[in-house]
Amino acid sequence: MTGISDINIEQSWKEHLQPLLEEAYMHELRKKVRVLYQDSTKHIYPQPQHLFNAFDTCPFTDVRVVILGQDPYHGAGQAHGLCFSVPEGKSMPPSLQNIFKEIQSDIGTAVPAHGDLTRWAKQGVFLLNAILTVEAGKPASHHGIGWEEFTDDVITLLSGSREHVVFMLWGNYAKQKQGLIDGDKHCILTAAHPSPFSAENGFFGCKHFSKANEYLKQHNKGSVDW
């Protein structure tokens, strides 16, 4: 992770992120992340090749919806660079189960057999974690190393450069990002986090998925097959 040239990142993102990646904080962040991955005493998730998976699978020019998570799953084999998503074959975490329950209640789509959200990403759903790495078994362990500054800049970039994007902000952490988004240009949907600890307090019944599709259709952006 020495520079943008050695990251296999989708071309439209590469073009828009180039100035950010030359910022001093990003040079420091790259050094920190490289050391973390090289430390044989630690297991860091996701695997390096999946670090920018959210960007690779959802080009900048295709982004229609942004769902913001906090940091990757910290269990073995769960994180693959898309927030809330797990690879096919991995058991579905409780928050993701609740997301699918809300989708089923909201628009009638059956709960799928696996939790890989790649098909959403390929439809323009940008599944961004605010923190892109985590140490095994230690949630939020990479809070404060520099990822938040980068992803805040990414959100600001999307808000300023695009129009009529739906931002789904679930839970207090995500809601804090609302100030980065131009509410006159975009649709901002907020709710409780889908975690079992909070889903009953406003995530269930939020109808974000039908609301997102309604907004996208109003602005001639089609709809997402949730």
Spell out the residues 6+ positions from residue 22 whose beta carbon is closer than 8 angstroms to its own.
Answer: none
The C-alpha atoms of residue 212 and residue 99 are separated, in whole angstroms, by: 14
**CA 189 remoteness from chain centre:** 15
Residue for token pair 């949907």: 189
CA separation (Å) from 161 to 23, 39, 56, 83, 154? 19, 38, 18, 22, 10
Residues with catalytic roles: 71
